[in-house]
Amino acid sequence: MRRLLKGGRVVDPANGVDGAFDVLIDGDRISRVGRDLPVDEGVQVIDVPKGFVVVPGLIDMHVHLREPGQEHKETIATGARSAVAGGFTAVACMPNTTPVNDSASITELMLKKAAEANLARVYPIGAVSRGSQGELLADIAELHKAGCCAISDDGKPVATALLMRRALEYASMFAMPVIDHCEDASLKGDGVAHEGFVASTLGLRGLPAAAETVMVQRDVTLAGLTGGHFHLAHMSVRGALRAVREGKSQGFPVTCEVAPHHFVLTDTYLESPIQYDTNCKMNPPLREQADMDAMIGGIVDGSVDVISTDHAPHHSDEKLQEFDRAPFGIVGLETCVPLVLDRLVHAGHISLTRAIELLSVNPARIIRRPGGSLAEGQVADITVLAPDATVTVVASKLRSKSKNTPFDGWTLRGAAAATIVGGRTVFINPDVAGAATFA
């Protein structure tokens, strides 16, 4: 089937496109992008409503889908539903499931569940070490062959400098990035909140910024040593950003991502509006203002490659606990686009083009998967944005199986209107007027 998205603004940074263009989809591929394309017989014409923007499908390269093993929090199907509801056409899911995704059989199970859900594309990330125990390398060639797009022991750091060195060297055979959750275990201790004034007054054990920075410095150094691609997961502190900039200036293969909560919230949200709000507990923790400002600075100047959500669903029973007992993490797939548009684009920090680089072009490039471009012949993964639509986040209405968001009740300007995966519309936002056009 052929569909023509007619008359909308198209922003396609990979091809230098920003303007009024038509996009012709043929089956699951992009057929043509051009001005005033002819309407052939049998083509379904979709008149893109004024103000909507057609962009390459958004890719979240850092999510936790919890299946297998923790299906009470999320499944691959509910996670994929949440992804497309947030405007994401593809997600890369971390291997800290139960059991850990350190073998082809787990990867294949994930891909099978994703195919059954038939919503967003799901790219499993394999473990660096067997069982993510930080000792022996996982069967990385097998994981690569089964379809893993990267390796990571996320949830934990790659335990030792030697293991990280070996992982970078070994994975370079397959051009797979090693994604590291950087946090020195001894400095981290049993901390639960950013070490600083707020944690001190609340009596919460601190997670020092230096715990992140020292391991980023280690990994940047090792990327230089090995030439292997180190991708820093969920960067949150200014010291880590300095280390990344230093690595990039040396020409080392280093990339990094920032999660929306780290450019929108600071640790003061632990005090108000809800004291000890476990929906503001994540790892890395909400940092202080200077760190948040630095993250925005890195997003603006190009030091930051990717915005990814670290979507971490947890059941409400698990979050309704004492702060230090509640698990780390918040859901993020359905709040990311409104936060990026409202707090970065409308706030004047970045252009829409830059936002699409961060949310689509760069993640596709880093995990080496299709998308990130509306070039002819590319997969027809398309997100339609309504940058001026005003939406209110309602936690209970999230499509994710879990509702653990600190943004409940927030009104934001900008949303995903529709999500198209492989030429097929998989989500229409009922809260955005005009979105039904894409049915």
Which lies closer to other proteins via its Cβ, residue 42 or residue 273? 273
Among 177, 191, 206, 285, binds other proteins (CB under 8 A): 206
Interaction of residue 35 with other proteins, rule CB under 8 A: no
Collapsed DSSP state (helix, strand, coil) of residue 303: coil
324 touches other proteins by CB under 8 A: yes
For other proteins, the binding residue among 16, 19, 251, 325 (CB under 8 A) is: 325
Instruction: Choose the binding region for other proteins from 59-67, 74-82, 197-205, 396-404 (rule: CB under 8 A).
Output: 197-205
Stretch that binds other proteins, among 43-51, 61-69, 196-204, 219-227 (CB under 8 A): 196-204
Nearer to other proteins, 162 or 274 (CB): 274
Residues 256-285 binding other proteins (CB under 8 A) are 274-276
Strand ranges for 227-311 from DSSP E: 230-232, 254-258, 306-307
Residue 177 class from Cβ within 10 Å (0-12 exposed, 13-18 middle, 19+ buried)? buried
- Name the minimum Å distance from CB 126 to other proteins: 34
Rounded CA-CA distance 354/369 in Å is 20
Secondary structure (3-state) at 194: strand
Query: For residue 8, which amino acid is it?
Result: G
User: Smallest distance from the beta carbon of 48 to other proteins, in angstroms?
Assistant: 46
210 in contact with other proteins (CB under 8 A): no
Active site residue 310: yes
Exactly one of 102, 154, 267, 310 is catalytic; which is it?
A: 310
Segment interacting with other proteins, rule: CB under 8 A, options 76-84, 315-323, 383-391, 423-431:
315-323
Cβ neighbours of residue 307 closer than 8 Å, sequence gap 6 or more: 257, 258, 259, 260, 299, 336, 340, 355, 358, 359
Which of 105, 118, 201, 268 touches other proteins (CB under 8 A)? 201
- By residue count, the chain amounts to 439
* Residue 436 structure tokens: 């039904």
Nearest to 52 by CA among 320, 359, 386, 342: 386
Q: Is 28 in the site for other proteins (CB under 8 A)?
A: no
Indicate the Cα dihedral angle 278, 282, 286, 291, nearest 10°.
180
- Distance, in Å, from the CA atom of 359 to the CA atom of 12, rounded to the nearest integer, reads 12
56 alpha-carbon distance from chain centroid: 15
Nearest residue (CB) to other proteins, 9 versus 403: 403
Which residue in the block uniquely carries the two structure tokens 């030091």? 303
Nearer to other proteins, 238 or 311 (CB): 238
| Site size with other proteins, rule: CB under 8 A | 21
Supply φ then ψ for residue 331, to 5 degrees. -75, 150
| 320: contact with other proteins by CB under 8 A | yes
Q: Which residues does the annotation mark as catalytic? A: 310
Give contact residues for other proteins (rule: CB under 8 A): 195-197, 199-206, 274-276, 317, 320-325
